């Protein structure tokens, strides 16, 4: 319960106080502690996030000091910390007439109201908290902003963060949260400005440089992003996130060899980082260096045999080498460790498809689609296998689920046109073909390649010729 008291507090008075409290509990007696002493004990537990024991102390304290409103306020604050806003509000309302000018009471009330979704009442309480604060206005405004940030209400949070900054220009917590809030509000320029204000005060904040790098990366400013990540790494060579962000930046810009250099730098700092080993291995896969990729995936598995990503990566290499039996084995290992990753099931389905185990392929694609309903790749793959098995009605059903959500997806329309054509339903086939041609005319060549029968249909050729001529006429008019 108490941990190592000597490491937590180094003043003898506090240590003695905690020993007394510990002995009282062990002996089950009722020693008296004054209010200040109880507050110290409560702080000890609260600062360790041991709210259970903090609440236990408060129960004992209130029994000994039933008239102490400060203890009741602390009780309400702890109930808020433990996500019990209704209980906190009952206590806070009972104290309202006694502590009308206590800004902490109004602040706690506002936070509790926010937790219960009563935002108008919260606003009123926060206004009172600021009204009754004299020399801590920046801290109170900051705490109000934190309450709104917790619920994703960043527009409101920014209002209070700006107020906190007005009262104290050098509060770096406020500057950081302004940078982060503007990121959330998709205002990158403002976010950069506030992060830069932070760096003016603390230029050695590696995490802030890293955040700047991420924003510049999203803005497409490669040089600024790379510079920010370099600053972060030079400040703290063991700040691992900056390496990954810099490597991702190179990878996104198809600078694979430079990304590999970054991963090697990271591994020089942390040789047992399995994610870095796997990411470096993926780079080797992209470069076609399968021997080195397998060596790195194995190194990752030597560190952690439960590294699903390494098993999956090994499976990808085997797939590219057409070693399908070994591929299936490693993919199954990955799935046994992390069965909820859609990509693992998708790859397994593709291997089964290549090895003509079509029923197993369908099951794997269904699972991938179930895990990631917004991704069409698994649905397309599943529909195509069903088509191969002449289960065209089921294939159409799957594609119609995509069509309902993405009616302007040309690939869906072309496939539906082809499937209906193979089902001899020319009315529906022509309907979807017309829509597909208007969405992407040139893609009909791919339909002919994958579904040869459609090329021989006179009705299809007539529709394509008519729409093609119409498109050319429109182009000539624009010229």
Nearest alpha-carbon partner for 54 in 107, 2, 110, 116: 2
pLDDT along the chain (479 residues), means of 10: 47 72 70 74 77 80 77 86 90 84 92 93 94 90 95 96 95 97 96 97 97 96 97 96 97 95 96 96 96 97 96 97 97 97 97 96 95 91 94 94 92 94 91 91 89 88 81 46
In the three-class reduction of DSSP (H, G, I as helix; E, B as strand; rest coil), residue 39 is classed as: helix
**In the chain, what percentage of residues exceed pLDDT 90?**
68
Q: Which residue has the tokens 């304290």?
A: 61
Rounded CA-CA distance 241/210 in Å is 8
Q: Which residue has the tokens 């529709």?
A: 463
Separation of first and last alpha carbons in the chain: 82
| DSSP alpha helix (H) spans, 355-391 | 358-371, 376-388
Burial track 97-136 (b if 16+ CB lie within 10 A, e otherwise): eebeebbbbbbbbbbbbbbeebeebbeebbebbbebbeee
The secondary structure of residue 135, as a DSSP letter, is S
- Residue 44 and residue 37 in contact, taking contact as beta carbons nearer than 8 Å: no
**Predicted local distance difference test score (pLDDT) of residue 305:** 95
pLDDT tens-digit profile of 117-176?
999 999 999 999 999 988 889 999 999 999 999 999 999 999 999 999 999 999 999 999
The secondary structure of residue 423, as a DSSP letter, is T
Q: Which residue has the tokens 């702890």?
A: 78
pLDDT tens-digit profile of 200-259?
999 999 999 999 999 999 999 999 999 999 999 999 999 999 999 999 999 999 999 999
The secondary structure of residue 70, as a DSSP letter, is H
Rounded CA-CA distance 416/414 in Å is 5
Nearest alpha-carbon partner for 247 in 223, 224, 229: 229
Tokens representing 337 are: 């460790």
Q: Which residue has the tokens 């205002």?
A: 187
**Predicted local distance difference test score (pLDDT) of residue 86:** 92
Could you count the other beta carbons within 10 Å of the beta carbon of residue 449?
Answer: 10
**Predicted local distance difference test score (pLDDT) of residue 5:** 45
**Predicted local distance difference test score (pLDDT) of residue 97:** 81
Tokens representing 57 are: 């102390």
**Predicted local distance difference test score (pLDDT) of residue 474:** 43
């Amino acid at each position: 319960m108490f941990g190592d008291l000597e490491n937590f507090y180094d003043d003898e008075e506090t240590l003695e106080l905690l020993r007394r409290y510990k002995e009282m509990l062990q002996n089950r007696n009722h020693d008296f502690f004054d209010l200040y002493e109880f507050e110290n004990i409560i702080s000890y537990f609260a600062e360790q996030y041991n709210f259970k024991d903090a609440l236990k102390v408060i129960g004992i304290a209130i029994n000994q000091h039933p008239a102490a409103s400060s203890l009741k306020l602390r009780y309400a604050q702890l109930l808020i910390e433990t996500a019990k806003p209704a209980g906190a509000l009952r206590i806070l309302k009972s104290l309202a007439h006694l502590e009308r000018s206590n800004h902490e009471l109004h602040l706690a009330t506002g936070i509790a109201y926010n937790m219960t979704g009563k935002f108008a009442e919260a606003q009123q309480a926060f206004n009172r908290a600021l009204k009754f604060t004299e020399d801590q206005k920046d801290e109170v405004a900051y705490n109000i902003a934190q309450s709104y940030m917790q619920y994703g209400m960043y527009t409101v949070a920014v209002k209070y963060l700006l107020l906190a900054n007005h009262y104290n220009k050098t509060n770096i917590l406020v500057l950081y949260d302004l940078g982060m809030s503007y990121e959330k509000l998709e205002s990158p320029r403002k976010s950069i400005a506030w992060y830069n204000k932070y760096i003016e005060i603390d230029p050695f904040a590696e995490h802030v440089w890293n955040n700047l790098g991420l924003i510049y990366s999203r803005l497409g400013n490669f040089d600024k992003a790379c510079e920010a990540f370099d600053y972060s790494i030079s400040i703290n060579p063991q700040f691992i996130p900056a390496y990954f962000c810099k490597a991702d930046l190179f990878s996104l810009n198809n600078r694979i060899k430079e990304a590999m250099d970054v991963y090697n730098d990271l591994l020089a700092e942390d040789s047992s980082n399995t994610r870095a080993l796997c990411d470096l291995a993926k780079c080797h896969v992209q470069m076609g260096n399968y021997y080195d990729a397998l060596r790195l995936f194995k190194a990752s598995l030597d560190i952690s045999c439960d590294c699903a990503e390494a098993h999956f990566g090994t499976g990808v290499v085997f797939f590219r080498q057409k070693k399908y039996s070994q591929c299936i084995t490693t993919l199954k290992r990955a799935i046994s460790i992390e069965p909820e990753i859609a990509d693992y099931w998708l790859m397994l389905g593709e291997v089964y498809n290549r090895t003509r185990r079509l029923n197993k392929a369908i099951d794997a694609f269904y699972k991938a689609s179930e895990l990631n309903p917004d991704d069409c790749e698994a649905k397309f793959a599943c529909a195509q296998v069903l088509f191969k098995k002449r289960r065209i009605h089921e294939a159409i059903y799957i594609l119609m689920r995509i069509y309902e959500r993405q009616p302007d997806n040309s690939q869906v329309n072309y496939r539906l046109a082809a499937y209906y054509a193979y089902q001899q339903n020319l009315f529906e086939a022509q309907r979807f073909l017309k829509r597909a041609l208007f969405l992407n005319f040139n893609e009909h060549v791919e339909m002919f390649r994958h579904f040869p029968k459609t090329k021989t249909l006179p009705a299809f050729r007539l529709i394509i010729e008519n729409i093609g001529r119409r498109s050319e006429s429109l182009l000539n008019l624009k010229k």
